[in-house]
Amino acid sequence: MHTTPTKHRGILSDFSDFVRRMGIRTTIGYLVELYIGWVIRGLPGPEGFLLRGWLYRLLMKHVASHPLIYPNCHIIFSHGISLGKRVAINVGSYLDGRGGIEIGDGSMIGPNCILSSCEHGFTSIEIPMYKQPVTLKKIVIQEDVWIGGNVCIKSGVTIGKGSIVGAGSVVTKDIPPYTIVAGVPAKPIRDRRTGEAFPRQ
């Protein structure tokens, strides 16, 4: 009698759990974005921009106008992502929309950024972290924000209108409008409206 190897049973069980949690429609969308996204992710030139924009206009929650999604961006759970007008997402960035991501008009995401609206649970030391419940919290990036390269944005964060996040920063708290921040964790450096520097924290 043929039996499924234990390793394969584990993979099938994990996938069945995923389908139960996410639902059939979300699972189909996830598979579509994985496989079609893989095909067009690295395409250069105008055709790459057009195909990526077309795909994510179909899959995302809301897209106000054709987005500029550069090659090798990895976007998952795009059904939870909303983009305003003239949003640019640069090369190699990773977006996980499970908890929701909103990016406002004219905002720019630099290369190799991470926007993850989902975090692993770790409160119990008795249960492996991969088995603990995940936490979903929306990331909101308001209008005319510039996110520098290699920035990591934690779930639940709101970045105010007109703000700038310096390259390599880790954003763990909300950022007021028109504020320049940088560092690990990111801290206010300057107010764009007044040009005044913030006291060092």
CA distance 77 to 173: 23
Catalytic residue at 120?
yes
The pair of structure tokens assigned to 26 is: 């979300």
- Phi and psi at residue 33, in whole multiples of 5°? -70, -30
Catalytic residue among 66, 74, 79, 120: 120
- Close Cβ partners of 124 (under 8 Å, ≥ 6 residues apart): 132
Count of residues for the chain? Answer: 201
What end-to-end distance do the CA atoms of the chain give, in Å? 68
> Which one, of 111, 105, 115, 110, lies nearest residue 65 by Cα?
105
Q: Which residues are known to be catalytic? A: 120
